[in-house]
Structure 1
Amino acid sequence: MPAVGLIVNDGKDLAVRTAASIEARLTAAGHQVVTASSSGGMVGFANPDQHLRTLGYAACVPAGFHSDMVLAIVLGGDGTVLSAARQTAPIGVPILTINTGHLGFLAETYLQELDQALERVMNQRWTVEERTLLVVSVLRGDLRRWEVLCLNEMALHREPLTSMCHFEIAVGRHVPVDIAADGVILSTPTGSTAYALSAGGPVITPDCPVLQLTPIAPHSLASRALVFSDEEPVTIFPATPERLMMVVDGSAGCYVWPEDRVLIRRSEHRARFVRLGEHEFFGVLRNKLGWGLPHVAKPEGEGGVTG
């Protein structure tokens, strides 16, 4: 009996109701269905007064999920997808993302297309697109204090009401650089359309084997986004006496102290997305972010400025 996973944002009634409907349909078709909450991949923010999370990133894999699963269907918004990637990548299970949230930038399909999507799944008419994942580790000496998988980005920044920070950053074998800024973002191509885009970084197509380093509010005209090979590990040393805040994919994080360092490297695992048709990245940019839409001047009398 083929096994299928269901990862659900169980804080949303629509996602829960849809999951029950999908489970009934797949069970009737002879599939074994294993359901999990997406909260298992939302590592949360570690308490600074306690030991950081020392379990490896594979601890996010839900109970009952295994590498022989056909796929996992994900119900929720983009945050749920980021969580589901952590839950499935260590065992190589592909995810079909069905949007029940708002923007749905990472969604493959929508509720109004659910019947057609399930039909394609049950008839095995789908392909898999792989995306780069990062392993983000907080180290103190030889001790790994915390670790998590990352699909979008790692952001390391100052706390509110504190001053600008300095970061010493070593990219692979290259000479370390010093960046003075409110923070830095290290993102994958998938994450180039998220926080890094808001900080002025470029959009990178998902098939490019690169990473992007983007300063947040840099104190220099020379500090701009840098794109480099994803084979290069990155180590960030906080060159500031105050603790910093690190947030990964918006749902995981911890404090980073002056004696810590953050190591970011490409994971051996990949996020595997089910595609029901040809995935047109430029089309997603256009539909979700308005990229490349033609500029049409307003005629006189409709709010245009006349001279």
Structure 2
Amino acid sequence: MNRAPLSSTAETAAGADALRYRRVALVGKYHASGSRDALERVVHFLHDQGCEVTLERDTAQHIGALGDAVRDVPGIGAHCELALVVGGDGTMLGIGRQLAPFGVPLIGINQGRLGFITDIPLDRFAETLPAMLRGNHDEERRALMQAGVWRDGHCVFETIAMNDVVVNRGGAPSMVELRVEVDGHFVANQRADGLIIASPTGSTAYALSAGGPLLHPSIAGWVMVPIAPHTLSNRPIVLPSDGEIAIEVVAGRDPSAHFDMQTFTSLLPGDRITVRRSAHTLRLLHPVGWSYFDTLRRKLHWNEGVVA
């Protein structure tokens, strides 16, 4: 399985006021309008709860040191028991894959637009977080992707992706040709604008826009989605996540590989991009009673106009 079952924890009545998470890191979408005010409110709230607040280094550099300490990601991983992410899904993607190797759980406070994985509205954090800081929450583990770029038998780039690995054509108005293998077995040559390998988390992102299916987070699989394929019979396919997907660049002008659309590397003909399941998982904490289907209904506007 690519994540542990959703689990709920609760403190006993005798220890209801005891903090489960006292050393809390705060990561913000520091370039967004109003971010400093929002983060300052969260810092004051955490102090009122009795928490020690560590500001992530890049966040502190842009908005100032509002908390008790400033630490980089390894420092947060070694010292903090919990990370609060104030921003959108992009902010969570950026810090989530960095903190995953340290096993630090994350809570997302949505200051962005969609918020598939930052699920607590900013205007409701003060009423939602007290119980969660005391251990009353649901925990979910999301699978991550380990991706590498190989050239002449050597790995020239390696990273973790949470949403997707995308191989794109360059700026020229021509397709890229890609050879796809799964566990060493040839699948197909794809001529298209590109190819997406997405995790269940990333199935609601670029892959969805390209016509891919939604994958429930409990499914141990990836979805492979061609972008504007030359042959219309090239359709999205769900693949098991316990193997390795390899994409070889056969031809194309200035192609590139993108990882969560936040890091990228240029590619050459003959390069191979490999995708496999990471040894690390992302720990997400949700309010008790959280439901993936509730999230889909709200974010995708299902049942709009229907009276429940």
1:2 aligns with 2:13: no
1:281 aligns with 2:292: yes
- State the 1:268 CA deviation: 0.8
- State the 1:67 CA deviation: 4.7
Equivalent in the alignment of 2:226? 215
CA distance in 1, matches of 2:22, 2:114: 32
Q: Of 254, 270, 291, which aligns to 2:281? A: 270
1:106 aligns with 2:117: yes
CA distance in 2, matches of 1:256, 1:156: 9
CA distance in 2, matches of 1:22, 1:119: 12
1:34 aligns with 2:54: yes
- State the 1:217 CA deviation: 0.5
- Code of the residue aligned with 1:32 in structure 2: it is E
| Correspondences of 1:55-134 after superposition (within 5 Å) | 62-67=73-78, 69-134=80-145
1:15 aligns with 2:26: no
Equivalent in the alignment of 2:258? 247
- State the 1:64 CA deviation: 1.9
TM-score normalised per structure 2? 0.83
Equivalent in the alignment of 1:300? none
Is residue 67–residue 92 contact of structure 1 (8 Å, CA) maintained in 2?
A: no
Change (3 A) 1:252 1:191: same
- Code of the residue aligned with 1:253 in structure 2: it is F
- State the 1:23 CA deviation: 2.2
- Percent identity, aligned pairs only, is 31
Equivalent in the alignment of 2:64? none
CA distance in 2, matches of 1:192, 1:259: 28
Equivalent in the alignment of 2:267? 256
Change (3 A) 1:38 1:172: farther
CA distance in 2, matches of 1:122, 1:208: 29
- Code of the residue aligned with 1:275 in structure 2: it is H
TM-score normalised per structure 1? 0.83
Q: Give secondary structure in 2 for the equivalent of 1:64.
A: helix
CA distance in 1, matches of 2:106, 2:263: 20
Is residue 172–residue 253 contact of structure 2 (8 Å, CA) maintained in 1?
A: no
Stretches of structure 1 lacking an aligned partner (at least 5 in a row): 41-60, 297-307
Aligned length: 276
- State the 1:37 CA deviation: 5.3
- Code of the residue aligned with 1:152 in structure 2: it is N
Is residue 108–residue 274 contact of structure 1 (8 Å, CA) maintained in 2?
A: no
Is residue 212–residue 228 contact of structure 1 (8 Å, CA) maintained in 2?
A: yes
CA distance in 2, matches of 1:198, 1:38: 31
- Code of the residue aligned with 2:255 in structure 1: it is L
Change (3 A) 1:269 1:295: same
Equivalent in the alignment of 1:57? none
Q: Give the aligned CA root-mean-square deviation in angstroms.
A: 2.2
CA distance in 2, matches of 1:39, 1:263: 32
CA distance in 1, matches of 2:39, 2:181: 45
- State the 1:15 CA deviation: 2.7
- State the 1:38 CA deviation: 6.5
- Code of the residue aligned with 1:260 in structure 2: it is D
CA distance in 1, matches of 2:109, 2:133: 16
Q: Give secondary structure in 2 for the equivalent of 1:66.
A: helix
Change (3 A) 1:119 1:31: same
